[in-house]
Amino acid sequence: SQELEQSPQSLIVQEGKNLTINCTSSKTLYGLYWYKQKYGEGLIFLMMLQKGGEEKSHEKITAKLDEKKQQSSLHITASQPSHAGIYLCGADLGGNNRLAFGKGNQVVVIP
């Protein structure tokens, strides 16, 4: 079974619109990482969250880790074509630096 569930699996948004994607675990997240990937390429680090309730922002992207540390959301404000790609969440689920990943959220931004 998948340890990290990402939803929605894919979404299409119009340029300028906001979007939110989610990453949910049945276990406590000791560290939660968001990456972005263009198909067939390496992963680009976006943000890391470690504390319950933590929120970080970079440019138009904001990520939050809920208080119980079992879910994270990533919000993009006023989406642009450059935001298109696959967003992957990764997490340390056992506190032993063994990092698992979800299946990803495919984001398409229509001009």
Partner 1 sequence: DGGITQSPKYLFRKEGQNVTLSCEQNLNHDAMYWYRQDPGQGLRLIYYSQIVNDFQKGDIAEGYSVSREKKESFPLTVTSAQKNPTAFYLCASNVQTGELFFGEGSRLTVL
Is 72 exposed, middle or buried (CB count within 10 Å of its CB: 0-12, 13-18, 19+)?
buried
Range in contact with partner 1 (rule: CB under 8 A) among 11-19, 60-68, 77-85, 88-96: 88-96
* From candidates 12, 78, 99, 108, binder to partner 1 by CB under 8 A: 99
- Smaller CB separation from partner 1, 82 or 97: 97
| Least distance to partner 1, CB of residue 10, Å | 10
| Least distance to partner 1, CB of residue 111, Å | 25
Chain-centroid distance, C-alpha 79: 15
Say if residues 58 and 44 touch (Cβ distance below 8 Å).
no
> Alpha-carbon Rg of the chain, whole angstroms?
13
Sheet of 71-76, strands arranged across = 4-7, 19-25, 71-76, 61-65, 55-58
Question: Mask 35-64, x = binds partner 1 (CB under 8 A)?
Answer: x----xxxx-x--x-x--------------
* From candidates 88, 93, 107, 109, binder to partner 1 by CB under 8 A: 88
